[in-house]
Amino acid sequence: MTDLRMQISAALKQAMKDKDAERLSTLRLINAAIKDRDIANRAASDEEKPGCGNVEVLDILGKMAKQRRESARAYEEGGRLDLAEREEREIAVIQEFMPRQLDESEVDRAIEEAISSTGAGSIRDMGKVMGELKSRYSGRMDFGKVGPRVKDHLCAGQSPCA
């Protein structure tokens, strides 16, 4: 069991002791998502694996947080502020287990490092750069927002960049 999984299990047990129903519910959802990924991984390969590692758990947590942000936005637009607030509270619980997000300057520095380490020279190398960033900074940056910034870095100084 990975460190992150142990932290989530410990938080789950503490929420049970504290009788914190809302936190407990969110932690159970996290645990269920992790177990679903474990089952999917076992089905995908014939060999017996111990379960998903920290990188996969961070990926799961990131997706869960993103889903809840989208739901909260939809609830706010629909005038259901009570449901939006609940989604925000779930996001707060999920983010407790995620590493600190990189700020703008750190993201730019990480992009530049990834470009130089992969030897990327054009937009055709964007996949290499994104792969490098995902392997190094999983859970620490929003890759949906980073993609256009990588493209800007790769297109800098080139006139037709498509």
Write down the pLDDT at residue 22.
94
Give the separation between CA 56 and CA 69, rounded to whole angstroms. 20
φ/ψ bin of 2: left (φ > 0), alpha (ψ from -120 to 50), beta (otherwise): beta
Query: pTM value?
Result: 0.73
pLDDT, tens digit, 9 for 90 and up, residues 20-74: 999 999 999 999 999 999 888 887 776 666 678 888 888 899 899 989 999 999 9
Write down the pLDDT at residue 20.
94
CATH number of the CATH domain containing 150: 1.10.10
Write down the pLDDT at residue 85.
96
Write down the pLDDT at residue 48.
61
Contact predicate 136/114, CB 8 Å: yes
Is the domain of 35 the same as that of 76? yes
Give the separation between CA 127 and CA 98, rounded to whole angstroms. 25
Contact predicate 118/112, CB 8 Å: no
The answer, yes or no, to whether residue 92 has pLDDT greater than 90, is yes
Q: Classify residue 160: in a domain, yes or no.
A: no
Measured from the Cβ of residue 53, the count of other Cβ atoms closer than 10 Å reads: 14
- State which residues form the domain around 29: 3-95
Using DSSP's 3-state secondary structure scheme, residue 70 falls into helix
Average pLDDT, the chain: 87
Task: Calculate mean pLDDT across residues 108-129.
Answer: 88
Is the domain of 17 the same as that of 71? yes
| Nearest one of 160, 133, 161 to 147, comparing CA atoms | 133
Is the domain of 80 the same as that of 47? yes
